Amino acid sequence: MRALFLTAALLASTAAQAQYVSQQPGEPAFRALFKEMVETDTSLTTGSCTAAAEKLAVRFKAAGFADADITQFSVPEFPKEGGIVVHLKGADPKVKPMLLLGHLDVVAAKPEDWTRSPFKLIEEDGYFYGRGTFDDKAQASIWADLLIRMKAGKAPKRTIKLALTCGEETTYAFNGADWLARNRPELIMAEFALNEGGGGRNGPDGKPQGLAVQVGEKTVQNFWAEATNPGGHSSVPRPDNAITDLTAAVVAVNRHEFPVQFTDTTRAYFATLAKVMPDPVGPAMARLLSNPDDAEANRIVSMDPTNHSVLRTTCVTTLLEAGHAENALAQRARANVNCRMFPGTDPNALKADLEKIIANPKVSISLKPPIRPVAKPTPMNPAIIGPMQTVAAKHFPGVPMLAMMSTGATDAIFITPIGIPVYGAPGTMIDADGNGIHGLNERISVRSLMQGRDYLSDLVAVLANPK
């Protein structure tokens, strides 16, 4: 799931650039792989990630990878939700491996609602159209293509591990990243991982405006808020009412402001923006960094919805269920409260906070499965961030880069608890309108895909061969 929003401070047009020419070899083969991935339906409702993993395995074997270096996995209960792990062995066993992480599954798409077939790759007006063209088959295809090309050349110092899994897009699906972390951690164990979640943003003219590396993310946790009542005939209403109790609880939760918090990443993020944002936002950011309890600074900075979410835990009601008949008092009313927990937040502690916010014993709060691991702040490691910036200066000259914490969620949440810091890699540029990700007519510009491929290929080569 991609969630990249760059603050307006970065939205200054860069100098005019000539039409982009790919710098990496093998573009026809990459296009063929990308086409095969997009045209393999991997939505959980009508498709199969296992089928996509099998097609990739054929390509890896044809490239010379031994059977021992390719692991296809699934579980009997979810035979279509399999994934694949591939190892490209490094030359220096003293250098710890790196992990390239991506997901094969895509959000469901109804063909009747699309202008073009969602599971046919169509190139039109400088864009590739199709479900998954951006999220996440662009990066997954780049990773797979890169390993295939590297297999034909000199071995890198590090072993490079590739994990392409299923279940990232659907809460109740079999999640391959979670399964690997719990059951086969040796397959993915690495010094660090590169994942989705970073990228960059293009302006209306298609030119890059800003780059971002994702360093950390929130944890998604859903809660049930539920009120029960004996009910009765609607002609004889009473003050004690399940719907009334739940409504008051929902309003209290939706209006509650959790306190401002910072990680090293978000502190650096706001410190950078404070220097370039105009009055009153820039000065307010500086004041908030000095004093997180500054209410007026908080109000000003939080007027931007993204800044508001980056600064704190957020909870909002997303689903409501109540009543059983038109002429009866509701016996049960409940709401799904979707919380995005700031790194380090214990879900049980948040449950206690919600109970205090609602302050009504008639409304119960319970954690709704699945209960995901607590997100840990990812370190701002200069050995990772530095090469990202250096390589970006070559591919995106003059384009600023910020480290950011995602308000969304990726499979990094399952990988970091086993000791692998995960970074959302920059390089693949999104348009201001979001490119139809999770919606209709998803697309990626041909330029963004090929330029992202070039950047990520060079970045991996540098990180895989530390000096």
Distances in whole angstroms, Cα of residue 450 to Cα of each of 23, 26, 164, 322: 9, 11, 20, 50
Q: Angle at the Cα of 226 (from 341 to 406), degrees rounded to 5?
A: 15
What pLDDT is stored for residue 375 in this prediction?
A: 84
pTM: 0.89
pLDDT tens-digit map of 272-317: 999 989 999 999 999 999 999 999 999 999 999 989 999 999 999 9
Q: How much is the average pLDDT of 443-465?
A: 97
What pLDDT is stored for residue 9 in this prediction?
A: 40
Q: Are 175 and 168 in contact (CB under 8 A)?
A: yes
The Cα 412–Cα 422 span in angstroms is 6
What pLDDT is stored for residue 5 in this prediction?
A: 42
Helix, coil or strand: residue 305: helix
CB atoms within 10 A of CB 279: 8
Q: According to DSSP H, which parts of 79-231 are helical?
A: 137-151, 176-183, 185-188
Domain extents for the chain? 8-217+375-463, 220-250+313-371
Q: Which CATH number, 2.60.40.1180, 3.20.20.70, 3.40.50.80, 3.30.70.360, labels domain 220-250+313-371?
A: 3.30.70.360
What pLDDT is stored for residue 245 in this prediction?
A: 97
Distances in whole angstroms, Cα of residue 140 to Cα of each of 143, 152, 164, 434: 5, 19, 7, 19
Confidence of residue 111 (pLDDT cuts 50, 70, 90): very high
Q: How much is the average pLDDT of 66-88?
A: 98
Q: How much is the average pLDDT of 163-180?
A: 95
Helix, coil or strand: residue 127: strand
Pairing of strands 232-233, 328-329: antiparallel
Task: Convert 135-174 into a string of H (helix), E (strand) and C (coil).
Answer: CCHHHHHHHHHHHHHHHCCCCCCCCEEEEEECCCCCCCCC
% the chain with pLDDT above 70? 96
What pLDDT is stored for residue 205 in this prediction?
A: 83
Distances in whole angstroms, Cα of residue 54 to Cα of each of 10, 38, 146, 150: 41, 14, 18, 20
- Is the pLDDT assigned to residue 16 strictly greater than 60? no
Residue among 304, 257, 310, 305 at smallest CA distance from 280: 304
Structure tokens at 16: 């005019």
Helix axes 446-463, 27-38, angle to 10 degrees: 110
What pLDDT is stored for residue 19 in this prediction?
A: 66
User: How are the residues of the chain apportioned to helix, strand and coil, as percentages rounded to the nearest 5?
Assistant: 35, 25, 40
The CATH code that applies to domain 8-217+375-463 is 3.40.630.10
What pLDDT is stored for residue 6 in this prediction?
A: 47
Q: Are 138 and 77 in contact (CB under 8 A)?
A: no
Q: How much is the average pLDDT of 387-402?
A: 95
Element containing residue 355 per DSSP (H, E): helix 347-358
Confidence of residue 3 (pLDDT cuts 50, 70, 90): very low
Please, which residues bridge with residue 225 across strands?
335, 365
Q: How much is the average pLDDT of 1-30?
A: 61
pLDDT tens-digit map of 208-265: 889 999 999 999 999 999 999 999 999 999 999 999 999 999 999 999 999 999 999 9
Confidence of residue 4 (pLDDT cuts 50, 70, 90): very low
The Cα 22–Cα 30 span in angstroms is 12
Question: Considering the chain, what is the average pLDDT of its residues?
Answer: 94
Lowest mean pLDDT segment, chosen from 30-34, 58-62, 100-104, 371-375? 371-375
Phi, then psi, of 8 in degrees rounded to 5: -55, -20
How many whole angstroms from its chain centre is CA 298?
A: 26
Helix, coil or strand: residue 320: strand
CB atoms within 10 A of CB 361: 8
pLDDT tens-digit map of 123-165: 999 999 999 999 999 999 999 999 999 999 999 999 999 999 9
pLDDT tens-digit map of 401-420: 999 998 888 999 999 999 99
Per CATH, 8-217+375-463 and 220-250+313-371 having the same topology is answered no
pLDDT tens-digit map of 180-203: 999 999 999 999 999 999 999 888
The Cα 429–Cα 211 span in angstroms is 8
Helix, coil or strand: residue 62: helix
The Cα 248–Cα 162 span in angstroms is 48
Confidence of residue 86 (pLDDT cuts 50, 70, 90): very high
Q: Which amino acid is at 48?
A: S
Confidence of residue 12 (pLDDT cuts 50, 70, 90): very low
Question: In the Cβ-directed half-sphere of 432, how many Cα atoms lie within 13 Å?
Answer: 11
Phi, then psi, of 383 in degrees rounded to 5: -70, -20
